[in-house]
Chain A
Amino acid sequence: MPIAHIMASGMTGLRAGGDLVARMELSKSMRIKEAKEYVAKKVGVDPIDLSDEYAMRDVREELGLGVITSVPNAPKGIAAKMNIEKVLDTKIKCCDTFRNQLKK
């Protein structure tokens, strides 16, 4: 059933830009229109492109935001999230935790 919702209405996460829009709803309580416009401006696309796998694949690769396939040497996990922090100008808790664990 959750897959049915993802296919019918979802933004398909890393396949396109769903996780980025979700982050702005969750971190800044932006409603959908504002969240899409904010993310679109930050990554340099039109809001409609945020659900377009074709448009977002190159954007994610170029900005290091993580992609759905296992590309060697591409940022994954926390490295990709550190890039998301910079691009979206937002804080991500686990990135802070990670940075604080590094020795000065």
Chain B
Amino acid sequence: MAAEYALRMGDGKRVFMSKEKIKEEAIAGAGHAVDYGSIPDLSCDEIDKIIEICIMPGKSVSVEIGMEVPVTHDIGTIRLDGDQGNSGVGIPSSRLIGMMMHERAFGADTMELGHIDYSYKAVKPIVFQECQAMEVAQQNMIVPLFYGAMPNMGLYYTPDGPYENPGDLLKAFKLDEAFASMEKSAAHLTRDIVWIMQKLYASGADGINLDTTGAAGDADAYAALNAVKALREEFPDMYIEVGMAGENIIGMHGMLEFEGTVLAGLWPHQQVALAEKAGANVFGPVVNTNTSRSFPWNLARAITFIKECSKVSKIPLHVDVGMGVGGIPMFETPPFDAVTRASKALVEMTGVDGL
């Protein structure tokens, strides 16, 4: 009987697979990315490298010495004092303590300050509280410190926001009204992000992290890219990181364009060009994990997409490797063995500049 290796499914469950099965899964996962993204396949050597990383005997693995990369953090300190809604662990502490713990105790290369709601809209009424927190944090911190939040354009729709919910309008076949609602929401969101960051930059923020860009579809991405463009024009030295919500921009609107490119349906290697044009310094590409497929399938698929993205990118990539992205299982406490294998494989095989 062939030796079997302990691996994971996309939901984190442990499974045992032979080397031949791992190879079969990796080839299929890479092929899936090739078909969907119309991008080059992995070579035989690259498939072998994925197998090698998957079957390494240790529970954790790491990159070769000299290949380390900086790590940025979506949500940052909220993971310590936040509740489960933010995958927080509920430790009673301040955000400043959380940031300093990440810097001085956890070895974080960068950190960010964020509101517990982690959406720009929610920051607007309390922006000066955030400015105060940023000023105090910058007096104490040394690593680059972003202000981070999600564009989260869904909050601009009824019942939470001022614009009629396009989901309801689309169901009623009121297409023009739905498109108009998305366009108004996007313009409002752009204004809010820019206004908030004008205040926070004046208070010493190193820059902005736009986390889960495009979560509400193409209009969400449109709003975020326009905010990046406006911020870059006003603040040439601001650090700007754009992290995506998903591997493909969903065409809720379908006809929105940024700098002449239709946003709907773009894959990571196409998204990065727009982030560059808008003025981002760093781009965070996403490849979603399929919970019904195995870790080697998901990892090979992620590597295929990210490798192409890295090849065409002129700006640094900090690939998203949180729960349910970048080959990591979709589980709130992702197994250590899978996390470190995805980490090593993406850094060593795709040429990304960070995580």
Contact = CB atoms under 8 A, between A and B. Distances in A.
A10 B353 contact: no
A30 B323 CA distance: 27
Contact of A29 (B69, B206, B315, B334): B315
Contacts of B238: 93
Interface string B75-118: 00001000000000000000000000001101111100000000
Contacts, number: 181
A13 to B, nearest CB: 5
B interface majority secondary structure:
loop
Contact of B108 (A13, A50, A51): A13
A2 B108 contact: yes
Interface residues of B, number: 62
A18 B142 contact: no
A6 B316 contact: no
Contacts of B316: 25, 29-32, 35
Interface of A is mostly: helix
A87 interface: no
A9 B347 contact: yes
A48 B66 contact: yes
A9 B343 contact: yes
A16 B343 CA distance: 19
A65 B204 CA distance: 19
A76 B139 CA distance: 9
A10 B69 CA distance: 5
Given A4-B339, A18-B70, A18-B109, A9 B281 contact: no
Given A4-B336, A6-B106, A91 B143 contact: no
A23 B71 CA distance: 11
Contacts of B270: none
A1 B322 contact: yes
A32 to B, nearest CB: 4
18 contacts: A1-B339, A6-B109, A8-B61, A8-B343, A9-B71, A14-B143, A19-B109, A25-B316, A27-B281, A31-B315, A51-B68, A77-B138, A78-B138, A92-B206, A93-B207, A93-B237, A94-B139, A97-B204
